[in-house]
Amino acid sequence: MSQAPTRADFDQYMVPNYAPQRAIPVRGEGSRLWDQEGREYIDFAGGIAVNGLGHCHPVLVEALTTQANKLWHLANVYTNEPALALARSLVERTFADKVYLCSSGGEANEAALKLARRWAHDHHGEHKHRIVSFSQSFHGRTFFTVSVGGQPKYSQGFGPVPGGIVHGQFNDLDSVRNLIDDDTCAVMVEPMQGEGGVIPADPAFLQGLRDLCDAFDALLIFDEVQTGAGRTGSLYAYQQYGVTPDILTSAKALGGGFPVGAMLTTDRVAPAMAIGTHGSTYGGNPLASAVALAAVGFIDTPEVLEGVKRRHDLFREHLETINRQHGVFKEIRGMGLLIGAEMAPEYEGRAKDILPLALEEGLMALIAGPNVLRMAPSLVIPEADIAEGMARLERAVARLVAGQ
């Protein structure tokens, strides 16, 4: 029998663009994981907001295994029943009239940006190509999406970035007024910045973006890759804000761990993506579509969505208790089960130091930059797991404070 892979194998065989933790999980159930040594962890990371129903949820396992015994892949010269059912489900549950399926959030955002430019080109001409985004935003790792994202560190060293992209300040409508004009084809925004620090948008800011887009005949794109599929307590965050975009992107929890992405848009905009203008080899494949269909149907229920809001309150209460004990956080913020705890000034930049300590205590968590501890657990995480996970986090924070 071959030897089990080790963490050292990553350094030997993998391109070094990641720096994973030492533990290698091999099994998961619900909000708990076990590594190669059988050690148990509570999962507050959720695969970076991907595992919306935890690990190996029976509804998703059933959908995957049933479809796996029917049909895997056809390519887009044909369509398939799960893809059509998923598209219909998303249309019926949202503002959208049309859906484009792909394999990831980066692909969904790439498609949204290309669609916006193509729509503006077809309706106004080549001059209308400018895109407004925001500092500290994150929209993916393709060269186009990483350029639209407002974190230059991700595009540095790869040569000239695509032109026509400008960045305003998140939650600062005046900064957008100074950038938007008749040459603007789209404004792209996250209803809550995830990688940028778990910062919710002000309702007036999003409404202001909608009004500016209407005034300049530009398209409003909501990147809901991280906030969508129930993460904030509604199926999509735009529904809580009451501001409707022209294009919305979705991925992560949409497939509950199976790679899938979607771009949603209206009948006004969709015709610009005509035959041959874009594509995705695996987009809309039957496996991904079947799992996503099951995930959406399970998540978009009062029981799950109201449970997200109740769990948010529990997370906040536990974090505030930890902070009263140790004083490590400046602010606790977020929506639903995307929660950020910004470090206090005396612990500036040390959120990342909590992660290995938490792992040693049996807890998996995230950061959003070096100064924000981030949590994006299963939307249905048991309340007992929240309590136990927070006890483990408290021990990790106590160790951080003691070792300062």
Question: How many angstroms separate the Cα of 88 from the Cα of each of 71, 99, 252?
Answer: 20, 8, 19
User: Which residues constitute the domain of residue 358?
Assistant: 7-57+302-402
In a domain, 139, yes or no: yes
**2 is a domain residue:** no
Residues 288 and 308 occupy one common structural domain: no
The domain boundary, picked from 264, 299, 334, lies at: 299
Q: Does 277 share its domain with 188?
A: yes
Neighbour-count burial of 171, counting CB atoms closer than 10 A to its CB (0-12 exposed, 13-18 middle, 19+ buried) = middle
- Whether 322 maps to a domain, the answer reads yes
Q: Which of 43, 44, 128, 138 is catalytic?
A: 138
366, 306: one domain = yes
Select which of 43, 205, 223, 258 is catalytic: 223
- The CATH number for 261's domain is 3.40.640.10
pLDDT at 1: 44
- 223 labelled ligand-binding: yes
Q: Provide the pLDDT for residue 162.
A: 87
pLDDT-flagged residues of the chain (< 70):
1, 404
Q: Give the CA-trace dihedral at 301, 307, 312, 317, to 10 degrees.
A: 170
Q: Is there a catalytic annotation at residue 170?
A: no
Per-residue pLDDT of 198-211, as tens digits, reads 999 999 999 999 99
Mark which of 242, 277, 299 sits at the end of a domain: 299
When divided into structural domains, the chain yields a total of 2
Residues 170 and 53 reside in one and the same domain: no
Assigned domain for 327 exists: yes
Rounded CA separation 109/103 (Å): 11
76 and 37 together in one domain = no
Residue in this structure with the two tokens 């399926």, named with its chain if needed: 101
63 domain residue, yes or no? no
Secondary structure letter of residue 225 according to DSSP: T
Q: So what's the pLDDT on residue 161?
A: 86
Last residue of a domain, one of 235, 269, 299: 299
One domain for residues 147 and 26: no
Q: Which of 44, 144, 205, 252 is catalytic?
A: 252
| pTM > 0.75: yes or no | yes
* Same domain as 310, residue 276: no
Catalytic residue flag (residue 128): no
Active site residue 138: yes
Rounded Cα–Cα distance for residues 15 and 255 (Å) = 26
Ligand-binding site membership of 138 (annotated): yes
Write the CATH number for 33: 3.90.1150.10
Judgement on whether residues 295 and 306 belong to the same structural domain of the protein: no
Whether 167 and 311 share a structural domain: no
- Is residue 66 a part of any domain in this protein? no
> Is 291 annotated as a binding-site member?
no
Answer yes or no: do 242 and 312 share one domain: no
User: Does 333 map to a domain?
Assistant: yes
| 245 and 291 co-located in one domain | yes
Mark whether 175 and 267 lie in a shared domain. Answer: yes
Determine whether the annotation assigns residue 281 to a binding site. Answer: yes
Has 267 been labeled as part of a binding site?
no
Residue 62 domain flag? no
